[in-house]
Structure 1
Amino acid sequence: MPATTRYSRPPQRDSWFAPLSVDLFLKVLNTTLLHPFIAWLIPLCFRAQTVKWEAPPMVISIAWAIFITLCWMAGVINQRIAHGIPREVDLSEEVIVITGGASGLGLLIAEVYGMRGASVAVLDVNEMENTEARGVTFYKCDVGDKAQVAKVADEIEKELGTPTVLINNAAIVIGKSLLDLSLEEVDKSFSTNLLGPFYCLKTFLPAIIRGGNGGTIVNISSVIGTVGAAQLTDYAAAKAGISAMHRSLTAELRESHPEIRTVLVTPGQLSTPLFYGVQTPNSFVAPVVEPVDVTKEIVAAIDSGRGATVGMPLYARWIDWFNVLPVGVQVIVRAIAGVDRGMKSFVGRGGSSIEKESSE
């Protein structure tokens, strides 16, 4: 988070192994034993020690290197089939629209691209935490109000140019049980978390297509949209809708406008004000995700002009398999994970009981 950010994650139950997580071990493996270059160094080192080709260590190391190389190639082919050929990106020509970019993840992405020469438009109902962000233009806008979105879209096109990238990032968390939610709160939650992305897509996607040079659509969903959680019925329903909308939109664009790239981001708990006060039940299996790590993935996808499906941390990449488990097993897993107890300590932005429109 930038130095201007006023909120920090409440202290976790720290211990000597607190920094350790499954994701950390996987990151180490991906740069060592699971990397093709390192895998092929092993048999080369054996050969330098005059180990015979038919010796078991040499055979095993070569087989391992071949396996890792094939897996790496399969990943590249899978990426190409799933998302097509990357589009060309020139940051000096990019106009990036970020909803909920006044703080958190959205602000971090805005600052990165603003400093690198892109034109960045931030849409938010809250004032920006960093009012001196270079290259970033702020537009006060409630994305749940389609009239405001349309008005701001005209201003952006006149002042910055035709948008090329849209990042649907704005969200709110109310954090109440269904019985405690008022109908007004339900309307507000869905208008921001689900209808807002629809309004922005309907408004900005035609402009991106009209630009003629392709573009990128980034939708921020959540693992909660797959597993659900107590006190998050409205948020979970909206995020499930975002994931379904993204997949359907990607299928449509693949046929009608293949030059448009789509990126779906499905993070676990982020250390942003959106879930202020929530304690992660297990920092080893389900560590809190830092916004800078998610930003790296989003920026890498946009910069390379490719589509992507980003899940962070590791369990988020496999979360769809949760619903394949027998229902009884799902209940046991939920109890062990503590997913339905996490919101009990939720206090909202700066200690309030309801989170205003913010970034993920």
Structure 2
Amino acid sequence: MSDPAIPDRPWHNPLTIDLLHKVLNTTFFHPFVAWIIPLCLRAQVTPYEHPAMLITVSWATLLTLLFFLSILNRRIAYGKPREVDLNDEVIVITGGASGLGLLIAEVYGLRGASVAVLDVRELEVGEARGVEFYKCDVGDREQVERVAKEIEEDFSCDAKQLGTPTILINNAAIAHGKSILDLSHEEIERTFRVNLLSHFHTIKTFLPGMIRENRGTVVTMSSVLAHLGCRNLSDYTSSKSALLALHASLTAELLHTHQKTIKTLLVTPGQITTPLFAGIKTPAPFLAPVLEPVDVAKEVIKAIDSGEGGVIAMPLYARWLPWMGVLPAGLHSVLRWWSGVDVAVEGFVGRNGEEQTEKGKEKEETRYFEG
């Protein structure tokens, strides 16, 4: 029986613009594939001055040029990738007791890396191979500092010391699903402590160790809503928007001192298929598909393993959201109405399957989620 918190999807749901984009990037828009066509034409003794030869060679040359320019662009923006050896890395994941954070923790644990999960709740799976759990409210600076000492001193079940964390994945976040008038001051402050101040706590706690080790990666989990804002999620979107500025500032500070050894990675995913997002129906699933946690985890892990810094914006539309700010106000409003972002949130359902109305509940339980 399917989970009632996660709605069934039609058979054609996997067919999205992201899938088409991926197919085209590996075929028609791939330089290697593009050069096969003129080679085949030459195999048929097609003259170089033939229109078909000129067009295909020009197309392949253009794609090749764009390919190398993209590599140059990344190298200028983020520098040379650092070397990553999982045998020497210690990974800290906040909010890793469930969802996306737990998935990333389990993958690295199975690959033999030392992983420490910080969360206020126990691991959803009970135990995970290679993963050490530390009960910690990351919104509390003293708790973060205490756990940091434990991570460097504690021994895991195989008597291997964890050591100094070199990869920090700031993934913890909360939301209340209430309008700004229904949010209590305590709820607003709690959201900013967990969603924003926790990043300052963990960075200030673990970054000095990365500097001493002369290697590290800091991953900031934000959201596409950081660019948009959203009805009934004012506290969440505001805190996620602040993370964009934090990431930019941290990257700038490390640029001139540790660009080659400490990388920063910003992740801005769209809606993810977890029970915490249940009830939200995407108005345009073809253009704005709902992400599977495994797909987001694969991209994050791939970027960390490569030793590169940068930005992961997914699905495809997330890459263009920063340009919304330069559009005329009228066009911006039309696109926002067409996207249905404010209407979709009306069906927001909590972890326990309780619908959150605009008036909310005075004693609503805080719900953790990623993205």
Q: TM-score range by the shorter chain?
A: over 0.9
In the other structure, the counterpart of 1:357 is: 368
The one-letter amino acid of 1:183's match is H
In the other structure, the counterpart of 1:210 is: 212
* C-alpha distance 8-268 of structure 1, shift in aligned 2 (>3 A): farther
1:104 aligns to 2:106 (yes or no): no
Q: Name the count of aligned residue pairs.
A: 353
The two structures have a TM-score, normalised by structure 1, of 0.95
C-alpha distance in 2 between matches for 1:134 and 1:321:
42
Deviation at 1:17, TM superposition (A): 3.4
C-alpha distance in 2 between matches for 1:342 and 1:161:
45
State whether residues 18 and 283 of structure 1, in contact with CA within 8 Å, keep that contact through their aligned partners in structure 2: yes
Give a deviation string over 1:48-93, Cα, whole Å, max 9, x none. 2222211111110100000000110011001101110111111011
In the other structure, the counterpart of 1:341 is: 343
In the other structure, the counterpart of 2:281 is: 279
Q: SS where residue 229 of structure 1 aligns?
A: coil
Q: SS where residue 312 of structure 2 aligns?
A: strand
Deviation at 1:27, TM superposition (A): 0.3
1:10 aligns with one of 6, 12, 30:
6
In the other structure, the counterpart of 1:165 is: 167
State whether residues 101 and 359 of structure 1, in contact with CA within 8 Å, keep that contact through their aligned partners in structure 2: no
The one-letter amino acid of 2:188's match is V
In the other structure, the counterpart of 2:200 is: 198
2:122 aligns with one of 122, 127, 133:
127
Deviation at 1:36, TM superposition (A): 1.1
State whether residues 102 and 358 of structure 1, in contact with CA within 8 Å, keep that contact through their aligned partners in structure 2: no
State whether residues 6 and 274 of structure 2, in contact with CA within 8 Å, keep that contact through their aligned partners in structure 1: no
In the other structure, the counterpart of 2:361 is: none
C-alpha distance in 1 between matches for 2:369 and 2:223:
15
In the other structure, the counterpart of 1:3 is: none
State whether residues 230 and 341 of structure 2, in contact with CA within 8 Å, keep that contact through their aligned partners in structure 1: yes
The one-letter amino acid of 1:10's match is I
In the other structure, the counterpart of 1:137 is: 132
1:87 aligns to 2:82 (yes or no): yes
1:53 aligns with one of 43, 48, 53:
48
In the other structure, the counterpart of 1:231 is: 232
C-alpha distance in 1 between matches for 2:305 and 2:147:
25
In the other structure, the counterpart of 2:360 is: none
Flag structure 2 segments of 5+ consecutive residues without an equivalent: 155-161, 357-364
Give a deviation string over 1:261-304, Cα, whole Å, max 9, x none. 01001111111234232211110010001111111111111111
C-alpha distance in 2 between matches for 1:271 and 1:173:
16
C-alpha distance in 2 between matches for 1:202 and 1:7:
40
C-alpha distance in 1 between matches for 2:273 and 2:12:
19
The one-letter amino acid of 1:191's match is R
The higher relative CO (CA closer than 8 Å, separation ≥ 6) is in: 1
C-alpha distance in 2 between matches for 1:91 and 1:338:
42
The two structures have a TM-score, normalised by structure 2, of 0.92
Q: SS where residue 163 of structure 2 aligns?
A: coil
**Aligned Cα RMSD in Å?**
1.5
Give a deviation string over 1:18-49, Cα, whole Å, max 9, x none. 22111000000111011111011111111122
C-alpha distance in 2 between matches for 1:343 and 1:121:
33
In the other structure, the counterpart of 1:219 is: 220
C-alpha distance in 1 between matches for 2:147 and 2:251:
25
C-alpha distance in 2 between matches for 1:123 and 1:166:
11
The one-letter amino acid of 2:111's match is R
C-alpha distance in 2 between matches for 1:75 and 1:47:
29
* C-alpha distance 273-205 of structure 1, shift in aligned 2 (>3 A): farther
In the other structure, the counterpart of 2:141 is: 146
Flag structure 1 segments of 5+ consecutive residues without an equivalent: 1-5
The one-letter amino acid of 1:70's match is L
Q: SS where residue 57 of structure 1 aligns?
A: helix
Deviation at 1:347, TM superposition (A): 1.2
* C-alpha distance 257-9 of structure 1, shift in aligned 2 (>3 A): farther
State whether residues 36 and 72 of structure 1, in contact with CA within 8 Å, keep that contact through their aligned partners in structure 2: yes
* C-alpha distance 34-112 of structure 1, shift in aligned 2 (>3 A): same
Q: SS where residue 279 of structure 1 aligns?
A: coil
Identity of aligned residues (%): 57
C-alpha distance in 2 between matches for 1:56 and 1:349:
61
Q: Which moved more, 1:135-144 or 1:40-49?
A: 40-49
State whether residues 98 and 169 of structure 1, in contact with CA within 8 Å, keep that contact through their aligned partners in structure 2: yes
State whether residues 6 and 273 of structure 2, in contact with CA within 8 Å, keep that contact through their aligned partners in structure 1: no
The one-letter amino acid of 2:269's match is P
